């Protein structure tokens, strides 16, 4: 039987993390548990920055972006001696179990902590949607809507000036943000790690578009494909007839008030995580598959193949 649980956020922040924290705290208290917050992710765990939370600590945060517990990336957490400090700090306070809200890097830390005696449950908090064990991660929907808002605005000026807009979005080696926003925006071209397009083909297609009297084009590109997106846009200008301008949306994509979808997803997952810990589970991560909240062993989750959304790609092609 557990009595005290902790909650932390780790890795890149994502809108909806606060809703997940709130759900963990409120559900934990409701079931008679003591709940502790950990500041700055695994760093705070190692440094002992751990404090008790009550229901008021999570009042008025459902609408707030970022994470009230702040976040960090701690590479050293891979080392057992560093993790041991975290375990010692938790044991000192009598904390039996932990909810870790973050991306797949954070999941590995959660699994390792479980193996060292602290049951952990991972919640998928990242804008990237790069976790195979869930259809959607917390933060993805909000981020997608932010991208849409930005691209809508860029579209206005792109049309006025009859240009080609090359827009780089985040994703960290996962193309979902580019693919989904590309479909939502009817982009002329979408370039992602799963669906790369050779540069010659990009130029050829844009040249044809330009020659067919298309006055403007939108190209959405995942980050980390082109080392210099501005140089890529310059090559488009030289080779296609379009005047191209590159825009890097950057961290604007990670901020802002979470969408209804992310708030509800986070609430469902947070409450599920507490239930799982009360059932004595650990080393698992929570996902939403076909609108059902489910859990997977973390190692299994990390080895699942990611959906490459082939049917979505077909749809994009049909609607061109």
- How far apart CA 103 and CA 107 sit, in angstroms, is 7
12 is a contact residue toward ligand F6P (CB under 6 A): yes
Give catalytic status of residue 128 as yes or no: yes
Residues 261-300, one symbol each (x = binds ligand F6P by CB under 6 A, - = not), give ----------------------------------------
3-state secondary structure of 278: helix
Sign of dihedral through CA atoms 119, 123, 128, 132? positive
- Binding flag, residue 127, ligand F6P (CB under 6 A): yes
Other CB atoms within 10 A of residue 61 CB: 17
Residue 9 has which token pair? 């956020």
Q: Is 67 in the site for ligand F6P (CB under 6 A)?
A: no
Residue 66 CA to residue 257 CA, distance in Å, equals 8
126 binds ligand F6P (CB under 6 A): yes
Residue closer to ligand F6P, measured from CB, 186 or 250: 250
Q: Does 170 bind ligand F6P (CB under 6 A)?
A: yes
Q: Which of 134, 16, 79, 28 is nearest to 7 (CA)?
A: 28
**For residues 195 and 143, is the Cβ–Cβ distance under 8 A?**
no
* Contact pick of 41, 122, 171, 282 for ligand F6P (by CB under 6 A): 171
Residue at token pair 């827009």: 167
**Residue 253 Cβ, how far from ligand F6P at the closest point, in Å?**
7
Q: Which is nearer to ligand F6P, 3 or 224 (CB)?
A: 224
Can you tell me whether residue 238 is helix, strand or coil?
Answer: helix
User: Within 21-40, which residues bind ligand F6P (CB under 6 A)?
Assistant: none
Among the listed ranges 17-25, 38-46, 123-131, 284-292, the one in contact with ligand F6P (CB under 6 A) is 123-131
Q: From the CB of 211, what's the least distance to ligand F6P, in Å?
A: 35
- Binding segment toward ligand F6P, per CB under 6 A, in 121-129, 159-167, 259-267, 311-319: 121-129
Whether the CB-CB separation of 102 and 301 falls below 8 Å is answered with: no
231 CB burial (10 A radius; 0-12, 13-18, 19+)? exposed
| Closest residue to ligand F6P in the complex (CB) | 12
Which is the catalytic residue, given 13, 96, 128, 176? 128
Q: Contact, 287 vs 129, CB < 8 A?
A: no
162: left (phi over 0), alpha (psi -120 to 50) or beta: left
Tokens representing 170 are: 């985040």
Using CB under 6 A as the binding criterion, the count of chain residues that bind ligand F6P stands at: 11
Q: What does the per-residue mask of binding to ligand F6P show for 80-119, with x meaning CB under 6 A?
A: -----------------------x----------------
CB of 74 to ligand F6P, least distance (A): 12
Query: Which residues are part of the catalytic machinery?
Result: 128
Q: Footprint of ligand F6P on this chain (CB under 6 A)?
A: 12, 103, 126-128, 170-172, 223, 251, 254
């Amino acid at each position: 039987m557990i009595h005290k649980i902790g909650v932390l956020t780790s890795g890149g922040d994502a809108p909806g993390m606060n809703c997940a924290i709130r759900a963990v705290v409120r559900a934990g208290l409701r079931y008679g548990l003591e709940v502790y917050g950990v500041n700055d992710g695994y760093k705070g765990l190692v440094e002992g920055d751990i404090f008790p939370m009550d229901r008021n600590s999570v009042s008025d945060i459902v609408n707030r972006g970022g994470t009230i517990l702040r976040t960090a990336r701690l590479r050293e957490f891979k080392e057992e001696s560093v993790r041991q400090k975290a375990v010692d700090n938790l044991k000192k306070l009598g904390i039996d179990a932990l909810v870790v809200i973050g991306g797949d890097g954070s999941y590995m830390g959660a699994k390792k902590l479980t193996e060292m005696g602290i049951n952990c449950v991972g919640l998928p908090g990242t804008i990237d949607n790069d976790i195979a064990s869930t259809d959607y991660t917390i933060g993805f929907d909000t981020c997608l809507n932010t991208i849409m808002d930005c691209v809508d605005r860029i579209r206005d000026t792109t049309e006025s000036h009859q240009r080609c807009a090359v827009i780089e979005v985040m994703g960290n080696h996962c193309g979902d943000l580019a693919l989904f926003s590309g479909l939502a925006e009817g982009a002329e071209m979408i370039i992602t790690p799963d669906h790369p397009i050779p540069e010659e083909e990009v130029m050829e297609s844009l040249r044809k578009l330009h020659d067919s009297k298309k006055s403007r084009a939108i190209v959405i590109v995942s980050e980390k494909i082109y080392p210099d997106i501005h140089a890529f846009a310059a090559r488009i200008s030289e080779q296609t007839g379009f005047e191209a301008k590159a825009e890097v949306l950057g961290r604007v994509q990670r901020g802002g008030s979470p969408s209804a979808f992310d708030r509800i997803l986070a609430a469902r997952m947070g409450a599920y995580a507490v239930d799982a810990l009360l059932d004595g589970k650990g080393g698992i991560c929570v996902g939403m598959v076909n609108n059902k909240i489910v859990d997977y062993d973390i190692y299994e989750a990390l080895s699942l193949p990611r959906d490459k959304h082939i049917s979505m790609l077909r749809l994009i092609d049909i609607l061109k």
